[in-house]
Structure 1
Amino acid sequence: MTRFIAPGATVGIIGGGIAAYQLIRAASHIGMRTVVLVPKENDIAAKAADVVVVGRADDPNKFAEFSGLAEVITYVDETVADGDMLADRLSKAQLPSGTDILEVTQDRYLEKVFLEDLNMNVLPYGQVVTADDIEKVVATVGYPSILKPIQKGIGTDQQLLLESDVDVWRAKGLLQKRPYILEAWLDKPRELAVYCVQSDSGLQVLPIVETNYELHQFTGAIVPAQVDGSVVVEILRIAETISKHLEYRGIFAIEFFLNAEGALYVKRLSPGPRPGGDIIHGVTPRSQYDLHMRAVLGWPVPTVPVKGSAVLIALSKEEQDTVATQIQIKPKWEWQFFPSGSKQLGELIVPGPLEAAFTTLEATGSFKIHPTITVDQLDNGGDKQ
């Protein structure tokens, strides 16, 4: 049973950026004080928290200072703190989300093994420890494939797409002294995500979302994802199965690839909020940050009513002039802006119907969503979600 935390208590948040900033706002909205542990003094989360500790979670002095100020602690994702360290230094009551999910998600190889053990479909993969391992794994996985550090949180500049033997030889020369995973690569699959909240009340699965990325950067989302009923059933099975095997409280995301033939692969599992989950607030009265806070603070998590459809666009700073124009002529559009210092200007949510939302966005000449479905496939009936 998660300990109930009354208003006026201090919530600690490990990690910075937009996710931490939004969690701080959600905690403040329900009467909590906040302390944040951020790596840099100018992090945008530092602008919202009541108390700021600048440092890394692996610095014992900084972590002791931070944890001593908080009655309950949460983390923004799996990259900000080592799970073993958190388990050693915090009680279960102080860390309601626990560390089970970190043990699975901080290592890409262990994550694949965990998912396979639960009878879930993942892309072919293999572990690479030395340069000679690359050829052995490519012989099994094939081309194209992508080489990634096993540890999450290392930049995408450390990933390498292999499309031929020439790329293998190049990878051998660039390989650093750390373990990697080599995974099969899909060309332009649809990307889906489901956001779930686990609380003392059980599991609540939110609508399935289709997400857009360009060069590893999140650019937008569509809800509900237009997928066949069989895909919905499988995603729900996966969410329920994972929740039963992890002692966790809060929001977590499961991301998927869906190829042209309709095969569904689990891409990754992530604790905490994810950028695509912001679109949930476009079709429900709750945000993912509010739901996460309620779960970790031992508050009742209400069953969230879902209504309508929506499109979310991540706004870049280069679009500021266009944003100013559209604000004045689009009264139904919902805007959110982030403090200066954020890499992203903000977000735009356009309520559905989806066909009308796509058309209106395209008409601006600036805001675009790139659905991998056609307008003809948009269906309010049938077996689409």
Structure 2
Amino acid sequence: MQPLAPGSTIGILGGGQLGRMLAQAAARLGFDVAILEREADSPAARVAAQLIEGAYDDEAALVRLAKAADVVTYEFENVPAGSVDILTDHGVDVAPGALALAVAQDRVAEKTFLNARGAPTVAFAEAATPREAVDAVTRIGAPALMKTRREGYDGKGQKWVEHAADAAAVFEALGGVPVIVEAPADFVRELSVIAARGRDGAIAVYPLGENHHEGGILRRTVAPAQVTPALADQAERIARQVLDGLDYVGVIGIELFELPDGRLLVNEIAPRVHNTGHWTQDGCEVDQFEQHIRAVAGWPLGPTRATARVEMLNLLGEDADAWAKLAAEPETRVHLYGKRDAKPGRKMGHVNRVRAL
């Protein structure tokens, strides 16, 4: 694919905050954006050049998007595989591609892929029945974390199993759907690496971020994280193995566990721009959103060097009501998503507190 010229149209599946920030980045580079989204009043739709209203599996809406866009990307990984097929059948490229979606949508496929690429994970087993769930926990050992194989985010769709005898009940509590059972990771902290791969195979890796969660939801990321050169090299090697293995185009988020002995395990991958990469908006020469647009448009990747130390704090629910106080802080950059209703735990925005390196 030839690099897209300014004035071309980039299609985005999804109208949430990630789609909004992607659309804003695309506009800065001179692109128009067409959003496919069910809700007309979505955060992304209100900053895009065009809204195509419809479900993500609405064939007529997908055909309209294919005709409007020169390339299509997405803001979430649970895009129906059939939707990608419809778009490509109508002549528009989708990036990242179908393989990345297939791997990221199924936790068993994800860990199997990672291990095959030399990216280590915790031990795991799969189960599709209550009996298999008991067997899986028995093999892995309790306590173990049981997750639905598909969907689930921010701590949803998962439960701890304290004893193998409880596995069948936990399986049913998760909906009686296929699950993965994971061994616990004895980690000292969670890190993440944001990386990008261009259409020419070039790879750009951002400095690592250190992440802190509350109630299963990311609360803050501090970056660049304080890490040794050896740990940074290990993370970059993992990122390259994943990106090349997926023949990836775009930005990816890779969550990592740092073990006491300095080894890194991959927790999960997200084939899109990532919450733990929001710090790059005010801490890097080219942020993750512009980088993703550059990659899918076939442009050269931009530099990833950190220009500041940043603490990114998610604004959940009514946290965003403090916008005036936050905006008055000289070191704080406010990013609000334009969501209408503040609900407990809902990501309404984030702030980046910027300090010198």
Q: What TM-score, normalized to structure 1? A: 0.84
**Kindly tell me: are residues 270 and 308 of structure 1, through their superposed partners in 2, closer, same or farther at Cα, counting changes over 3 Å?**
same
Contact kept in structure 2, 1:3 and 1:93, CA below 8 Å? no
Q: CA offsets, 1:267-320, max 9 Å, x none?
A: 111111011101122321222111110111112223333223221111234234
Which residue matches 1:103?
A: 102
The one-letter code sitting in structure 2 at the alignment partner of 1:348 is V
Contact kept in structure 2, 1:207 and 1:280, CA below 8 Å? no
Which residue matches 1:128?
A: 127
Moved more, 222-231 or 180-189: 180-189
Task: Give distance in 1, aligned partners of 2:213 and 2:154.
Answer: 16
- The size of the alignment, in residue pairs, is 351
The one-letter code sitting in structure 1 at the alignment partner of 2:221 is A
Matched, 1:62 2:65: no
Cα deviation, residue 178, structure 1: 2.6
Is the partner of 2:64 in helix, strand or coil? helix
- Structure 1, gaps ≥5 residues long: 355-385
Contact kept in structure 2, 1:17 and 1:45, CA below 8 Å? yes
**Kindly tell me: are residues 88 and 306 of structure 1, through their superposed partners in 2, closer, same or farther at Cα, counting changes over 3 Å?**
same
Aligned alpha-carbon RMSD (Å): 2.4
**Kindly tell me: are residues 143 and 11 of structure 1, through their superposed partners in 2, closer, same or farther at Cα, counting changes over 3 Å?**
same
Task: Give distance in 2, aligned partners of 1:53 and 1:189.
Answer: 45
Which residue matches 1:345?
A: 348
Cα deviation, residue 103, structure 1: 2.2
Matches within 5 A, 1:40-59: 40-59=39-58
Cα deviation, residue 39, structure 1: 3.0
Contact kept in structure 1, 2:52 and 2:61, CA below 8 Å? yes
Is the partner of 2:330 in helix, strand or coil? coil
Is the partner of 1:289 in helix, strand or coil? helix
Is the partner of 1:293 in helix, strand or coil? helix
Which residue matches 2:253?
A: 253
Q: CA offsets, 1:73-121, max 9 Å, x none?
A: 1111321232x64146416862243222112211110111111112222
Is the partner of 2:279 in helix, strand or coil? helix
Matches within 5 A, 1:224-303: 224-303=224-303
Task: Give distance in 2, aligned partners of 1:89 and 1:184.
Answer: 38
Is the partner of 1:74 in helix, strand or coil? strand
**Kindly tell me: are residues 153 and 68 of structure 1, through their superposed partners in 2, closer, same or farther at Cα, counting changes over 3 Å?**
farther
Is the partner of 2:109 in helix, strand or coil? helix
The one-letter code sitting in structure 1 at the alignment partner of 2:249 is R
**Bigger Rg, structure 1 or 2:** 1
Cα deviation, residue 149, structure 1: 1.4
Cα deviation, residue 37, structure 1: 1.1
Matches within 5 A, 1:27-176: 27-82=26-81, 85-87=83-85, 89-90=87-88, 94-153=93-152, 156-165=155-164, 167-174=166-173, 176=175
Task: Give distance in 1, aligned partners of 2:17 and 2:245.
Answer: 29
Contact kept in structure 2, 1:14 and 1:81, CA below 8 Å? no
Matched, 1:221 2:224: no
Task: Give distance in 2, aligned partners of 1:172 and 1:72.
Answer: 40
Contact kept in structure 2, 1:201 and 1:301, CA below 8 Å? no
Matched, 1:180 2:179: yes
Task: Provide the identity percentage.
Answer: 26
The one-letter code sitting in structure 2 at the alignment partner of 1:59 is D
**Kindly tell me: are residues 326 and 8 of structure 1, through their superposed partners in 2, closer, same or farther at Cα, counting changes over 3 Å?**
closer
Cα deviation, residue 159, structure 1: 1.9
Which residue matches 1:367?
A: none
Matches within 5 A, 1:305-324: 305-320=305-320, 322-324=322-324
Task: Give distance in 2, aligned partners of 1:184 and 1:32.
Answer: 45
Moved more, 132-141 or 49-58: 49-58
Cα deviation, residue 177, structure 1: 4.5
**Kindly tell me: are residues 326 and 107 of structure 1, through their superposed partners in 2, closer, same or farther at Cα, counting changes over 3 Å?**
closer
Task: Give distance in 1, aligned partners of 2:171 and 2:245.
Answer: 37
The one-letter code sitting in structure 1 at the alignment partner of 2:348 is L
Contact kept in structure 1, 2:38 and 2:53, CA below 8 Å? yes
**Kindly tell me: are residues 234 and 19 of structure 1, through their superposed partners in 2, closer, same or farther at Cα, counting changes over 3 Å?**
same
**Kindly tell me: are residues 272 and 230 of structure 1, through their superposed partners in 2, closer, same or farther at Cα, counting changes over 3 Å?**
same
Task: Give distance in 2, aligned partners of 1:11 and 1:5.
Answer: 9
- Structure 2, gaps ≥5 residues long: none
Which residue matches 1:23?
A: 22
Contact kept in structure 1, 2:314 and 2:350, CA below 8 Å? yes
Is the partner of 1:53 in helix, strand or coil? strand
Q: CA offsets, 1:323-369, max 9 Å, x none?
A: 423433x2232222221326433221112358xxxxxxxxxxxxxxx
The one-letter code sitting in structure 1 at the alignment partner of 2:252 is F
